[in-house]
Amino acid sequence: TDQSLIRNFCIIAHIDHGKSTVADRILQLSGIVPEREMRDRFLDRMDIEQERGITIKSQAVRVPWTFDGTEYTLGMIDTPGHVDFTYEVSRALAACEGAVLLVDATQGIEAQTLSNLYMAIDHDLTIIPVLNKIDLPSAEPDKHAEEIAGLIGCDPSDVLRVSGKTGEGVAELLDRIVTDIPAPSGDPKAPARALIFDSVYDSYRGIVTYIRMVDGELRSREKLHMMGIGMTHDPIEIGVISPEMMPTKALGAGEVGYVITGAKDVSQSKVGDTITSAKDPATEPLPGYRDPQPMVYAGLFPIDNAQFPELREALDKLKLNDAALIYEPETSVALGFGFRCGFLGLLHMEIVSERLSREFGLDLISTAPNVPYEVTSEDGTVHRVTNPSEFPEGKIKRIVEPMVAADIITPKEFIGAVMELCQDHRGIMGTMEYLSPERVEMHYRIPLAEIVFDFFDQLKSRTKGYASLDYHEDGEQAADLVKVDILIQGEKVDAFSAIVHRDKAYSYGVMMTKKLRELIPRQQFEIPIQAAIGSRIIARENIRALRKDVLAKCYGGDITRKRKLLEKQKAGKKRMKMLGHVEVPQEAFVAALATN
């Protein structure tokens, strides 16, 4: 394809402003999806995306569009809107020359509208501002066009108006993409260089690598070389997605497509790497991506420990499709073998667990998530703590916790409610700006640990759903944190240890001890359940011993015989774990950790 006829763009927006719906209309108008095959949010290809109605993965697709009698090739990438998936968006932006900034005409600019816009500007992309949902009676396009024009410095009349529902204005949007977004400007004659911006594991075909060609050409019959990992492959197939995979003979400068090499070993493809031709290799790789920093960590353990090798394999495969996921093996006395995983937020964590269970059939239990800390012991040693078990024993000199800069957009009547919420979460107020006479953007510096858990839900409920939130890393600060351990009959249960703010230590201790008292069945002896900071007990519950006669009935006397019986029972039904002398059913761990 002649580069001057290519336009690569992504659609960016705040969550729910209608990216996937507008993408549907584009697919229909261009004619690549026949009417009878059309379904809502066509590019949200995963079941979880369809069920939850949110985009998790960016999807690239090629659509033809004729403007002024000439056929152009548009490379479109639909991106996710939720803050946990910003890394997906940033990788998509690096594969494009332009961005369609979509804003819901009933809502106006929201927090991720701004963060996505700033990211697109950082990538030097041409921005096409668009108001969506103009079919709705509550749409206020004139007002919000002013708002957007003020933000990006254009004329309000430059802001397009479309409806993803009725399709109104979408053809004009495609024309604007052709006229406004520059064609790619790589060197078609130079040695080939392609950026890997995503990949996925396909059980039949192996690794599918998604690429954006920058310079030169890759041909389906010539050996490829991955510059970063230093491997050479014979491509089995090269092609474009429109809307499904379509093999082509070659991909030239400016094109977006995919490569299949038949490799099944997941270490043979890395997002951010540069592909070149083995025969005529480029000397310099493309800049690639910065690895994202996990915001929260949690342990993931197979409920059936025999599934540990499968979990490893599943994580390796999932990582191909989720470059933000990190993991390393960990062992827990209570839960056995598993992985300590790093996530970009709780939604990310939830999606990873769900994908592991759906796509790989794994039954998992996760420990309470925590943010990473830096703990300095009295002797000056600095520990990076991503797991409560790494918290050093003995006297602590200093603990530092990660901070975020939070931007909250809210109608002005909720300013007081937002301030109160941020104060309750140890936030420090920064500046505040009016986006319009009715709406303000408030800036706070807040500990990450206060934001990732229930903050967003509370923000929504205290502002009747009107406020939106975006945040990014903003250094660190010293904090008064302690590690709370949970002891069952004097034995520390690692899976329940937590690092919490001193003010919350007591309530965590009380909650966990109460919960465990209810979940652990009575046994022949009394079982104390305690919460402790170091050697100081802060909460205690007792599980009373069974009386003799009751014991006779329920156990039939011999505990070893009972255990033999139990072992015979089907796996997963009633697994017991011995903690010292105490038998704890596996379900007790699951239940105690689930409702955290």
For ligand GTP, the binding residues (CB under 6 A) are 13, 15-21, 41, 53-55, 80-81, 132-133, 135-136, 163-165
Using CB atoms, what's the residue nearest to ligand GTP?
81
Min CB(49)–ligand GTP separation in Å: 8
- Is residue 383 packed enough to be buried (19+ CB in 10 Å), middle (13-18) or exposed (0-12)? middle
Q: Say which residues have a Cβ less than 8 Å from residue 112's Cβ, sequence separation at least 6.
A: 13, 14, 15, 81, 82, 83, 468, 470
Min CB(350)–ligand GTP separation in Å: 14
User: Does the annotation flag 16 for ligand binding?
Assistant: yes
Q: Which of residues 26 and 364 has its CB atom nearest to ligand GTP in the complex?
A: 26
Min CB(304)–ligand GTP separation in Å: 34
Min CB(454)–ligand GTP separation in Å: 21
User: Does the annotation flag 134 for ligand binding?
Assistant: yes
Q: Which of residues 55 and 523 has its CB atom nearest to ligand GTP in the complex?
A: 55
Q: Which of 237, 167, 248 is nearest to 205 (CA)?
A: 237
Q: How many residues does the chain have?
A: 596
Q: Which of residues 310 and 354 has its CB atom nearest to ligand GTP in the complex?
A: 354
| Dist. CA 150–CA 500, nearest whole Å | 43
| Dist. CA 353–CA 594, nearest whole Å | 13
Min CB(100)–ligand GTP separation in Å: 11
User: Does the annotation flag 515 for ligand binding?
Assistant: no
Q: Cα(first)–Cα(last) distance of the chain, in Å?
A: 54
Min CB(163)–ligand GTP separation in Å: 4
Min CB(457)–ligand GTP separation in Å: 17
Residue 430 tokens, joined: 């920064």
C-alpha distance from residue 369 to each of 342, 453, 480, 496 (Å): 9, 9, 19, 11
DSSP state of 147: H
User: Does the annotation flag 179 for ligand binding?
Assistant: no
Torsion of CA 60, 65, 67, 73, to 10 degrees: 50
| Dist. CA 8–CA 19, nearest whole Å | 16
Min CB(215)–ligand GTP separation in Å: 32
CB 258 within 8 A of CB 250: no
Min CB(41)–ligand GTP separation in Å: 5
Residue 250 tokens, joined: 């070659």
User: Does the annotation flag 17 for ligand binding?
Assistant: yes
Q: Which of residues 25 and 225 has its CB atom nearest to ligand GTP in the complex?
A: 25
User: Does the annotation flag 303 for ligand binding?
Assistant: no
User: Does the annotation flag 248 for ligand binding?
Assistant: no
Q: Which of 465, 470, 509, 469 is nearest to 487 (CA)?
A: 509
User: Does the annotation flag 321 for ligand binding?
Assistant: no
CB 500 within 8 A of CB 508: yes
Q: Say which residues have a Cβ less than 8 Å from residue 552's Cβ, sequence separation at least 6.
A: none
Q: Which of residues 19 and 270 has its CB atom nearest to ligand GTP in the complex?
A: 19
Instruction: State how far Cα 443 lies from the chain centre.
Output: 23
User: Does the annotation flag 132 for ligand binding?
Assistant: yes
Q: Which of residues 19 and 348 has its CB atom nearest to ligand GTP in the complex?
A: 19
Q: Residue type for 542, please?
A: N
CB 410 within 8 A of CB 463: yes
In what side-by-side order are the strands of the sheet with 160-161? 59-67, 70-78, 6-13, 98-104, 126-132, 160-161
Q: Which of residues 93 and 399 has its CB atom nearest to ligand GTP in the complex?
A: 93
Instruction: State how far Cα 422 lies from the chain centre.
Output: 24
Q: Which of residues 10 and 406 has its CB atom nearest to ligand GTP in the complex?
A: 10
Q: Which of 358, 259, 270 is nearest to 316 (CA)?
A: 270
Min CB(371)–ligand GTP separation in Å: 25
The 8 Å CB, 24+ separation contacts for 71-74 are 71/5, 72/5, 72/6, 72/7, 72/178, 73/1, 73/5, 73/6, 73/7, 73/255, 74/6, 74/7, 74/8, 74/9, 74/30, 74/174, 74/177, 74/178
Q: Which of residues 55 and 366 has its CB atom nearest to ligand GTP in the complex?
A: 55
User: Does the annotation flag 383 for ligand binding?
Assistant: no
Min CB(12)–ligand GTP separation in Å: 9
Instruction: State the binding site for GTP.
Output: 16-21, 132-135
Instruction: State the binding site.
Output: 16-21, 132-135
